[in-house]
Amino acid sequence: MPAVEWSDWEKVGNDGSAPEELFPATQWQYKWMIHHSFDLGYSFLENGGGSITMEFRARYGEHLLRDIAKFSFISQKDPLDPGFNAGQYSYWLGSGVTTRLAGTATQGGDDKGQLVFSAQGPTWAEGVSEGFFYGELIGDVWLGDIAEGPIEFVKWFPNLYIPHGKQLWIRTVGGAPVSQTVIHLPTHNKHEFWLYKGALLTRRQLNVDGVHDGLRSGGVLSIVTTGVLAVGAGAAIVEQKTFGWMGQLIAVPSGSYWVLLGRSGNGLAPVAWNGTAALPAVAYTCIGRYESGKLLQEADGRGTIICLNVREFSAWCEDDGALKVNVGAPGERRQFISRDQGSSWTATA
């Protein structure tokens, strides 16, 4: 089963810089290093306890994420010790919550991210009036495009023994596509499946002449002004037929989006799709993508989009000619089927 490969964990500099080899990326995961002290909060006669709320905000390209986690502790005065500095304490931190404040990134599983503390208590100490907690706040995987550039520290929870009070680590999955080729048994056509920037696409290569479905010529994209994209005239093969279209201007959404070609009368017409609404029913093939201020028309990003937010997949052909793909790990698997050689896909129950 083709799957993405993660980079090693890399430290983000105090200025937000990160190693160039991490970018561009289509998925990322991060962790905050934690080391903090707290007053045990007990008096001569009473035990103590309390909680501390930690908040972090960081911007990854267009995506702004906020992490909130609450640390709790209890402390107990030693009744046999007449002093004020003898006691014991324990601490713990359950799951935190991540919220997307800006951007289009999606969490790779649940609707919201989940921070997990990797070195929680209990811890005991004697002869002290302060306790310490340390470890890592590890976030879930996020799916979204981030290009090379600094990560912005918007807000952080100050920590002891960490320079500048903050330390962030990140690992990514790069933009190199993962692919798989399947032979269509009745026709011996090749079907290429590409995992490109979190999207699973497919295109067909005809056994007769070796020609691929999708864009054949033209279709050059260019920005006219904010919110307006020019799509040059071109031709594409859809459902084993060649269609053309005239150059035209189209309105585009803010942020990242895909440029798709859909049937329109006897030809094709382009449409911009930001990936958040349902996939347009008339969209048959993708010819380009806009992200981080750049228009991309890479060969690996062309074809029929099956679904988004994919991390791993497997594809095969049934004996009756139906094409199928499984998307996701076994615990969260989804299946899609095509009975028209990849021109359209339907999610199975």
Question: So what's the pLDDT on residue 151?
Answer: 92
What pLDDT, on a 0 to 100 scale, did the predictor assign at position 101?
92
Give the model confidence (pLDDT) of 117-135 as tens digits.
877 655 555 556 677 778 8
Going from the C-alpha of 40 to that of each of 71, 78, 132, 142, 244, the distances in angstroms are 13, 12, 10, 36, 74
Long-range contacts of 243-246 (CB under 8 A, 24+ apart): 243/267, 243/268, 244/268, 245/269, 245/270
What pLDDT does residue 58 have?
Answer: 95
In 160-252, which residue ranges form alpha helices assigned H by DSSP?
none
First-to-last CA distance in the chain? 22
What one-character DSSP code corresponds to residue 29?
A: E
Main-chain phi, psi angles of 299, to 5 degrees: -60, -35
* Dmax (CA) of the chain: 92
Averaged over 91-117, what is the pLDDT?
77
Query: Predicted confidence band at 198 (pLDDT cuts at 50, 70, 90)?
Result: confident
Per-residue pLDDT at 126:
57
The residue ranges of every structural domain in the chain are 10-174, 178-347
* pLDDT > 70 in the chain, percent: 85
CB 172 within 8 A of CB 7: yes
Alpha helices in 82-185 (DSSP H): none
pLDDT band at 310 (very low <50, low <70, confident <90, very high): confident
Distance CA 261, CA 284 (A): 6
Q: Residue 348 in 3-state DSSP?
A: coil
User: Given a cut of 70, is residue 42 above it in pLDDT?
Assistant: no
- Contact 262/268 with Cβ under 8 angstroms? yes
Report the C-alpha gap between 190 and 200 in whole angstroms.
16
What's the pTM? 0.59
Q: pLDDT digits over 318-340, tens only? A: 999 999 999 876 667 889 999 98
| pLDDT at 1 (0 to 100) | 43
- pLDDT at 344 exceeding the cut of 50: yes
Residue given tokens 């904010």 in the structure block: 226
pLDDT at 44 over 50: no
pLDDT value of position 45: 46
Q: Left, alpha or beta for 323 (phi > 0: left; psi -120 to 50: alpha)?
A: beta
Closest CA to 129 of 41, 57, 204: 41
To the nearest whole number, what is the mean pLDDT of the chain?
83
Single-letter amino acid code for the residue at 65: L
